Amino acid sequence: MPPFLILEGLDKSFGSQAVLRGLSLEVNAGEVLALLGPSGSGKTTALRLIAGFETPDRGKILVGGEDVTALPPEKRHFGMVFQHYALFPHLNVRENVAFGLAGRKLGPAMTTRKVADALALVELPGYETRRVGEISGGQQQRIALARALAPEPRVLLLDEPLSNLDPTLRERTRRELLRAVRRVGITTVLVTHEQEEAFHLGNRVAVLHGGVLHQVAAPEELYERPATRFVAGFVGRASGLPGVLTADGGVKINGVDGVVWTGEPASDAGSVPGTAVELVVRPESLAFTDADRNSLAGRVAERRYAGSSTFYAVELALGREVEVLAPADAAAEGDTVRVAPAPGGLPPRIFRASPEVLQLEDNPAGSPHVP
Amino acid sequence: MTTRQARFAGPLPYAAALVCLLLAWLVCYPLLMTLLEALGGPNAWTLGHLGDFIHRQDEWMALWRSLWISVASVILAGAIGVPLAFLFERTEFPGRRFLGAVAALPVALPPLVGVIAFLFLYGESGFVSRAVQGLLHLQDPPWHLAGPGAVLLVHAYSMYVYFYLFVRAGLARQDVALLEAAASLGASRLRTLFTVTLPLLRPSLGAAALLTFMTSLASFSAPYLFGGGFRVMTTQIVASKLNGELGLAQVETVMLAVLAILALAAMRRVEGSAGAGGATGVRGIAPARRRLASPVARGTAFVLGWVMAAVLLLPHAVLALISFVPPFTWTTETIPPVLDGRNWAALVTKPEHLRPVVNSLWMAAAATLAAVVLGLAAARLAAVRRRGFLASALEWLIALPWAVPGTVFALALATAFGVSQPWLGRFVLIGTPWILPLAYLVRNLPLTGRGALAGLRGIDPALEEAAASLGADRWRRLGRIVLPLLRPALAAGAGLAFITALGDFVTSIVLYTYDTRPISIEILASLRLQDLGMAAVYGVLLMTASTAAFLLWGRGEAR
């Protein structure tokens, strides 16, 4: 099936500030794509470009084969849910939800039907006569969704839809949101800075940083095979150990003799022996060991008990800090331990060492790479 | 809240240019004509008039006096209006609501009428003067209502209302969380006042100061009636005209306009950095009113409040009283000997008497409607194109009519639209019923335009974007989203504009004809005929209409 929504080489600058560089993405029909990234990554700008509130300096946007780049937002037939909902304060719920139906000449009976359907979809039937100021934040969010979906748009855009809700409400609303979107089967692009939200809601997740797309893939792929160092650190917890590539593709860890760990190289690491690289490993891929060979010595600096799992921050003798996931009784703060890759765990990833990592190497004050 | 405007809504640049052109034609063109005539005009270019002005000491004196009287008016009006605003917005005491509304009453007193009422109250043979003279057994009247003090008194009385209304609205918008934050950081109430509350009020204070300054600069009735030998620029212009020195009068006009424009520029810098009013971020809850604790404080507030109400209501009361004085019955007695309803009856039995009332009402209504539409159009175009030449130009053009004193502008309009030269954009409007509404329209543009601008800046841009995402084109967005949300700001501007147009005197006196004469001219005519009663009847009518307009529309977020 050909992709439904295509972004081709989008560039956008505000004044001298380049916010998006060469963004190209394809979204399949009925898919939910999450745009994930820290603030300033350009994800909101990308969404606003798709919606038509900004025009790209370069690039194209195609929907169902149609080039909509020059089309004003009111003609694109996209639905959008805003971060602060943007419900019209002077209209009641019914008038808000029916707003997008006005141009269609549906007649009052049909309009009433559609409004009721939209409200039923978000599980708020009977709310027609309520005023915007009378309903709670979570309900406002759902009304905003109903309003966006009532005109049956071809694409749904969500701008940090859950960031305004308190955490207990967020989880529940997230499930309801997913249910509603799946029921309608609409192509959806959602912007968020929370990895958990992106993983829960998105069929695929696109990670943006500094205006550049780092990787777009299903959540498993992102987590297990991150394409860049940034993705490795942003999606899930990770520790980094600088080293050099060996002849057989392993990494000799710097600062200690004879420790060589294996891993999966990312594309930028290459395969030339002697390349300065960084070995990035997740907590669940490390374990405490008694073996002296091929393990790193360290001291437990902090033990963080999180109920179902316990994380140990270990200060290694070579001057770096790593995080280890281990049973709750594995060690206590202050213990001397040895750390090695956990058998059967996710292989670590190997990335070309970035300039910052190399600089830190020269000043071994030791900095935690745990994000 | 972001400060981005709905930039995608970018209206055609042609629309912005068109409105700019229209405003330029209405506002700048007459000014240009005046400037040309000041330099001798198309007939004999000369700098002679300019030279006359520069070399005369009393010209500079008059200019200086205009400046310092206006500054003093701002300070005085602020000194009265701001504490009153705090008193009525932040404290609770019996009668607060009623007295709070009464405190805004001077806004319904048109300038000419107000000055006359003052004369009747505080002039040498005024009621209050005579009362005080009698009570204290004085030989001479206790004071002379003349000179700069008198002018300042009148200014303070009529203009403190701007500070009162704007600051009250500003206080009502403030978030109590900010005050609580200051307190938690150890700031005393006084310190919080000076470091948090007042700075946050800068937009309101700035707007009120600007309005007061401009009104004072252009004020004519008070200096004319009370100034005596103390000449300000506006009265100086009239004197030059009466002396036949028309060229000099034009130069004086230009000088006054230059002063006003400089002041406008200075004020805009102060206001500009504060964002010209509007949203200051997430809206919180306003602080609760403090109950005045001690019964002494409460009692004092109560008494003072009623005394103040009485003083403020005196001019209105005096006008009402005099409206019952039949013509030629009151000469030298302290209190009018005869009081009956003859004057009021005449209104009904002689329809000709109602003519000025009808004239004023329709002209003010037409002008206000046009001013709202034009002001809104200009504001919308200026607000959408945040930065850029056209946006600044539009904002300037909207505020520019304030820079021009009423008489000046009227004369300029008369000059510009006295001949038919369509290729130069000149049509004959003088003598037609349209010139007065046109004059009112332009004079009131700053009120409606700035009100619309402030209101527009307070609307969350996401609302328009949401409407667009739902398929609404720019007209539907305007009609269903922007206008309904803008209603309070627009209504406030329209209310003030209507009142100003209704009671206008200085513009009308230059441009009226017998058929189109408004109420203020009729008042003057009655005064000239020594028919005080009739003059007062019209004054009362004007007051009533103004109060009604104010209560209906002007009370909201007046800016």
Domain boundaries, chain B: 1-46+344-559, 60-232+307-322
Q: What is the pLDDT of residue A5?
A: 94
pLDDT at residue B249 greater than cutoff 70: yes
Q: How far is A99 from chain B (nearest CA, A)?
A: 7
- Same domain as A24, residue A61: yes
Q: Which two tokens stand for residue B47?
A: 């700098």
pLDDT at residue B177 greater than cutoff 60: yes
CB–CB of A77 and B462 under 8 A?
no
pLDDT per residue over A124-173, tens digit each?
Answer: 999 999 999 899 888 999 999 999 999 999 999 999 988 888 888 888 88
Q: What is the pLDDT of residue B293?
A: 65
**B→A interface, C-beta within 8 Å:** 6-8, 460, 462-463, 465-473, 476, 480-481, 484-485
Full DSSP string of B98-133 = HHHHHTTGGGGS-HHHHHHHHHHHHSTTSHHHHHHH
Same CATH fold assignment for domains B1-46+344-559 and B60-232+307-322? yes
**Residue numbers in A near B480 (CB within 8 A):** 99
- In-domain check, residue A72: yes
Q: What is the pLDDT of residue B6?
A: 43
Closest-CA residue in chain A for B484?
Answer: A90
Closest-CA residue in chain A for B472?
Answer: A74
CATH class label, B1-46+344-559: mainly alpha
- Same domain as A219, residue A319: no
Q: What is the pLDDT of residue B13?
A: 64
**Domain enclosing residue A245, as ranges:** 237-362
**Residue numbers in B near A80 (CB within 8 A):** 465-466, 469
A131 touches chain B (CB under 8 A): no
- In-domain check, residue A68: yes
CB–CB of A79 and B469 under 8 A?
yes
- In Å, what is the CA distance from B237 to each residue of B147, B166, B201? 18, 32, 37
- In-domain check, residue A26: yes
Q: What is the pLDDT of residue B272?
A: 59
Which of B241-250, B254-263, B356-365 has the highest average model confidence (pLDDT)? B356-365
DSSP H stretches of helix in B144-276: 147-172, 176-184, 189-192, 198-200, 202-218, 221-226, 233-242, 246-272
A99 touches chain B (CB under 8 A): yes
- In-domain check, residue A368: no
Chain-centroid distance of CA B128 in Å reads: 27
pLDDT per residue over B281-336, tens digit each?
Answer: 445 566 777 776 677 877 887 788 788 888 888 888 888 888 888 887 777 777 77
Q: What share of chain A is helix, strand, coil (3-state, %, to 5)?
A: 30, 30, 40
Among B462, B469, B472, the residue with its CB nearest the CB of A84 is B462
Task: Tell me: ipTM over 0.95.
Answer: no
Q: Identify the segments of chain A with pLDDT beneath 50.
A: 366-371
Average pLDDT over residues B508-516: 85
Q: What is the pLDDT of residue B3?
A: 37
CB–CB of B462 and A99 under 8 A?
no
CB–CB of A151 and B471 under 8 A?
yes
Q: What is the pLDDT of residue B4?
A: 45
- In-domain check, residue A231: no
Q: How far is A216 from chain B (nearest CA, A)?
A: 26
Q: Select the more confidently predicted residue: B146 or A13.
A: A13
- In-domain check, residue A230: no
H or E element in which residue B92 lies: strand B91-92
pLDDT per residue over B193-218, tens digit each?
Answer: 888 888 888 888 888 898 899 889 88
- Same domain as A218, residue A74: yes
Place of tokens 């509404």: B437
- Same domain as A260, residue A146: no
**Residue numbers in B near A86 (CB within 8 A):** 460, 462-463, 465-466
- In-domain check, residue A188: yes
- Same domain as A191, residue A298: no
Q: Is the separation of the CB atoms in A155 and A31 below 8 Å?
A: no
- Same domain as A209, residue A241: no
Q: Select the more confidently predicted residue: B332 or B79.
A: B79
Q: What is the pLDDT of residue B227?
A: 79
Q: Which of B80, B232, B235, B260 is nearest to B158 (CA)?
A: B80
| Range of lowest pLDDT (A276-290, B248-262, B458-472) | B248-262
Q: What count of Cα atoms within 13 Å lies in the side-chain half-sphere of residue B380? A: 23
pLDDT at residue B231 greater than cutoff 60: yes
Among B6, B470, B473, the residue with its CB nearest the CB of A99 is B470
Q: What is the pLDDT of residue B284?
A: 59
Residue B31 and residue B257: Cα distance in Å, rounded? 9
pLDDT at residue B43 greater than cutoff 70: no
Strands A310-316 and A296-305: antiparallel
Q: Is the separation of the CB atoms in B99 and B88 below 8 Å?
A: yes
CB–CB of A80 and B485 under 8 A?
no
| Interface list for A 140-169 with B (CB within 8 A) | 147-148, 151, 157
Closest-CA residue in chain A for B282?
Answer: A84
pLDDT at residue B106 greater than cutoff 80: yes
Q: How high does pLDDT run on average in chain B?
A: 81
Name the domain boundary from A198, A224, A250. Answer: A224
Counting residues of chain B whose pLDDT is more than 90, the rounded percentage is 12
Q: Is the separation of the CB atoms in B203 and B274 below 8 Å?
A: yes
Which of B463, B464, B469, B476 would you mutate first to test chain A, the one with the most A CBs within 10 A? Answer: B469
Residue A328 and residue A307: Cα distance in Å, rounded? 9
Amino acid residing at A289: T
Q: What is the DSSP letter of A286?
A: E
| Interface list for A 41-60 with B (CB within 8 A) | 51-55
Q: How far is A85 from chain B (nearest CA, A)?
A: 8
| Interface list for A 251-290 with B (CB within 8 A) | none
- Same domain as A241, residue A168: no
**Residue numbers in A near B471 (CB within 8 A):** 74-75, 77, 100, 102-103, 151
Closest-CA residue in chain B for A153?
Answer: B470
pLDDT band at B99 (very low <50, low <70, confident <90, very high): confident
- Same domain as A251, residue A185: no
- In-domain check, residue A305: yes
- Same domain as A179, residue A68: yes
Strands A155-159 and A78-81: parallel
Closest-CA residue in chain A for B2?
Answer: A84
How many domains, chain A? 2
Cα four-point dihedral sign B208, B209, B214, B220 = positive
pLDDT at residue B111 greater than cutoff 70: yes
Name the domain boundary from A194, A224, A254. Answer: A224
CB–CB of B481 and A88 under 8 A?
yes
Give the relative orientation of helices B355-384 and B483-502 as an angle to the nearest 10 degrees.
140
Counting residues of chain B whose pLDDT is more than 70, the rounded percentage is 91
**Residue numbers in A near B469 (CB within 8 A):** 51, 73-74, 76, 78-80, 100, 148, 157
Q: How far is A347 from chain B (nearest CA, A)?
A: 44
Average pLDDT over residues B11-34: 76
A103 touches chain B (CB under 8 A): yes
Average pLDDT over residues B478-484: 91
Among A51, A74, A86, the residue with its CB nearest the CB of B471 is A74
CATH number at residue A318: 2.40.50.140
A312 touches chain B (CB under 8 A): no
Residue B532 and residue A301: Cα distance in Å, rounded? 95
- Same domain as A192, residue A82: yes
CB–CB of B481 and A86 under 8 A?
no
- Same domain as A119, residue A88: yes
Interface contacts (A, B; CB < 8 Å)? 71
Q: Select the more confidently predicted residue: A328 or B173.
A: A328
A72 touches chain B (CB under 8 A): yes
Q: How far is B474 from chain A (nearest CA, A)?
A: 9
Residue A274 and residue A21: Cα distance in Å, rounded? 32
Among A73, A86, A90, the residue with its CB nearest the CB of B485 is A90
- Same domain as A270, residue A183: no
Name the domain boundary from A224, A253, A278. Answer: A224
Q: Which two tokens stand for residue A290?
A: 């008694």
Q: Which of B125, B146, B316 is nearest to B225 (CA)?
A: B146
Amino acid residing at A63: V
Q: What is the pLDDT of residue A369?
A: 43
Q: How far is B462 from chain A (nearest CA, A)?
A: 6
- Does this model's pTM top 0.80? My answer is no
CB–CB of A74 and B473 under 8 A?
yes
CB–CB of B463 and A88 under 8 A?
yes
What number does CATH give the domain B60-232+307-322?
A: 1.10.3720.10
**Residue numbers in A near B6 (CB within 8 A):** 53
CATH number at residue A123: 3.40.50.300
**Residue numbers in B near A89 (CB within 8 A):** 485
CB–CB of B465 and A84 under 8 A?
no
CB–CB of B472 and A89 under 8 A?
no
Residue B108 and residue B503: Cα distance in Å, rounded? 9
